């Protein structure tokens, strides 16, 4: 995480200049010209490089900042590619079709949104990864929900809410361990403290999805396309309950503490073998699916949309986006420009409420500027740690705020690696699913409410003792 490049003092308005350039370019490109976010991020990277050069950084140092940013994202890049392979292998092997088939037969449309939220929560809690959950169970959930006539953004919101709940609360999650480790907080103390904000957020999400489900359920029950979808699945795939053992195997491997990457790799191999031996395709066809995704010819437009996808190449947009975003984030972080912006935030911190609100805001701002969830935890943790100590606040307040503001809000930024990944995986844009990713925006709001009310805000033993002495006097 650290470079050998000494940071220089950069004035706030110089530091914020690349951010303004990037946001203006992003709005112009996406809103006016209906383009993609890559070029605006490259423009922002160029602006950040020029500001760094103006402040006497050598070009070699600027390059190292970009490379360091990219290195930070390499684990995410590997997961992105593996998820692309998984989607291809599981569609080709009939696993996704089987999950959709039984989902349509078993789950009532009126309770589907609640059901998929809970299922994604449990799976993500088990595997410790929102991305792995969305790339497997989430893809099948999208198929089931859309087949029931539920709008894709609503289904995506339920999948995201459940996946991020499980990821945030899992002791196997990388972001959960990162937030606890950077703040020197015991992992399980950190998780326990997050329950106060995250459980209410999940309950609110489930209540809203239950309410939405009543209406979409009534409309969907009469939808004859469900029966047609089931018939089309039977016509194009060999449906077998034994195929459900493959996702179950991946979950069991993770439960027994097999790391996520090899566990996902086992799922890919099993999906490939299922395509050959159960679906009856050739090895060449299976390899083609892994590389370029599955292709199906059908008059059912919904089936075509759901199954013509996956493969390694389908994730290259996301991989390139991640790399470009991290070059911008790397310069902003390691040149000290992000620190200059954060220092301005610290100036408004006077109370516990404003401190926690500033922490959550800083994490969200970092998600928007550096486009990477990990940086949104790393940078604010370094910026705010001493302030929490000075105010006598337990480190678990900081670790919780980092996750409430960093882990959860990353999904709302279309050019953040999380927003890009979700778009590539669930095929729904961040601006479309944002109103329905209910857990992801209610939890930060609950955390800010707690901060100003003092509820669940823990102090250090020394601060408690000082309070006791002050009251006695």
**Where are the chain's structural domains?**
12-73+321-472, 76-315
DSSP string, 84-102: HHHHHHHHHTTHHHHHHHH
**Per-residue tens of pLDDT for the chain, all 473 residues:** 456 677 788 999 999 999 899 888 888 887 788 788 889 889 999 999 999 999 999 999 999 999 998 887 787 788 878 888 988 999 999 998 998 898 888 888 889 999 999 999 988 887 778 988 898 889 889 989 988 889 999 999 999 999 999 999 988 788 888 888 889 898 889 999 999 999 999 999 999 999 998 877 555 544 566 788 888 899 999 999 999 999 889 878 877 878 778 888 999 999 999 999 999 999 999 999 999 999 988 877 778 877 888 899 988 987 887 788 888 888 988 898 988 887 887 787 888 999 999 999 989 988 887 777 887 888 788 778 888 988 899 999 999 999 999 999 999 998 888 998 999 899 999 999 999 999 999 999 999 999 999 999 998 876 555 554 554 44
- Could you tell me the pTM of the whole model? 0.79
- 393 SS3 class: strand
- 309 SS3 class: coil
Q: How far is CA 395 from CA 54, 183, 195, 384, 387, in A?
A: 38, 6, 16, 10, 10
Q: Which pLDDT tens digit goes with each residue over 209-268?
A: 999 988 775 555 445 667 888 888 999 999 999 999 998 898 788 778 787 788 889 999
Tokens read off for 270: 């099993």
Q: Where are the alpha helices (DSSP H) in 278-416?
A: 283-292, 301-307, 316-334, 337-346, 352-370, 373-390, 395-402
Q: 256: which residues sit within 8 A by CB, 6+ positions away? A: none
Spatial distance between the Cα atoms of 311 and 288, rounded to a whole number of angstroms: 8
- Residue that is written with structure tokens 């000075």 in the block: 390
> Residue 404: its pLDDT value, please?
96
Spatial distance between the Cα atoms of 366 and 181, rounded to a whole number of angstroms: 19
> Residue 71: its pLDDT value, please?
87
> Residue 416: its pLDDT value, please?
87
Phi, psi of 459 (to 5 degrees): -105, 160
393 - beta bridge partners?
Answer: 459
């Amino acid at each position: 995480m650290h470079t050998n490049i000494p940071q220089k003092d950069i004035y706030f308005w110089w530091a914020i200049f690349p951010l303004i350039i990037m946001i203006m370019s992003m709005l112009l490109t996406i809103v006016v010209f209906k383009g993609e976010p890559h070029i605006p991020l490259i423009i922002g990277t160029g602006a950040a490089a020029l500001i760094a050069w103006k402040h006497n950084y050598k070009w070699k140092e600027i390059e190292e900042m970009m490379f360091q940013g990219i290195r930070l994202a390499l684990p995410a890049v590997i997961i992105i590619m593996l998820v692309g392979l998984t989607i291809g292998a599981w569609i080709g092997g009939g696993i996704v079709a089987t999950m959709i088939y039984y989902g349509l037969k078993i789950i009532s449309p009126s309770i589907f949104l609640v059901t998929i939220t809970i299922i994604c929560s449990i799976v993500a809690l088990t595997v410790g990864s929102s991305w792995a959950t969305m790339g497997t169970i989430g893809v099948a959930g999208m198929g089931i929900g859309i087949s029931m006539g539920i709008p894709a953004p609503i289904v995506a919101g339920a999948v995201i809410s459940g996946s991020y709940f499980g990821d945030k609360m899992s002791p196997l999650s990388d972001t959960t361990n990162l937030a606890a480790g950077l703040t020197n907080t015991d992992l399980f103390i950190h998780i326990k403290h997050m329950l106060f904000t995250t459980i209410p957020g999940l309950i609110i999400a489930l209540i809203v999805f239950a309410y939405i489900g009543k209406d979409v359920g009534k409309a969907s029950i009469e939808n004859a396309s469900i029966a047609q979808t089931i018939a089309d699945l039977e016509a194009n795939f060999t449906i077998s309950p034994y195929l459900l053992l493959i996702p179950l195997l991946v979950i069991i491997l993770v439960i027994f503490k097999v790391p996520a990457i090899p566990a996902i790799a086992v799922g890919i191999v099993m999906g490939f073998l299922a395509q050959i031996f159960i679906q009856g395709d050739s090895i060449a066809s299976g390899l083609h699916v892994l590389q370029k995704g599955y292709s199906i010819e059908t008059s059912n437009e919904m089936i075509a949309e759901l199954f013509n996808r996956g493969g390694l190449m389908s994730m290259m947009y996301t991989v390139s986006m991640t790399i470009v975003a991290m070059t911008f984030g790397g310069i902003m972080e390691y040149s000290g420009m992000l620190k200059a912006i954060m220092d301005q935030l610290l100036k408004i911190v006077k109370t516990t409420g404003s401190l926690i609100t500033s922490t959550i805001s800083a994490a969200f701002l970092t998600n928007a500027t550096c486009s990477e969830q990990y940086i949104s935890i790393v940078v604010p943790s370094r910026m705010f740690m001493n302030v929490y100590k000075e105010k006598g606040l337990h480190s678990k307040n900081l670790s919780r705020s980092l996750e409430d503001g960093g882990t959860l809000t990353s999904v709302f930024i279309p050019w953040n690696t999380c927003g890009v990944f979700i778009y590539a995986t669930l095929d729904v844009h961040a601006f479309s699913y944002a109103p329905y990713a209910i857990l992801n925006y209610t939890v930060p709001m609950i955390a800010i409410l707690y901060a100003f009310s003092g509820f669940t805000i823990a102090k250090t033993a020394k601060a408690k003792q000082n309070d006791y002495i002050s009251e006695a006097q």
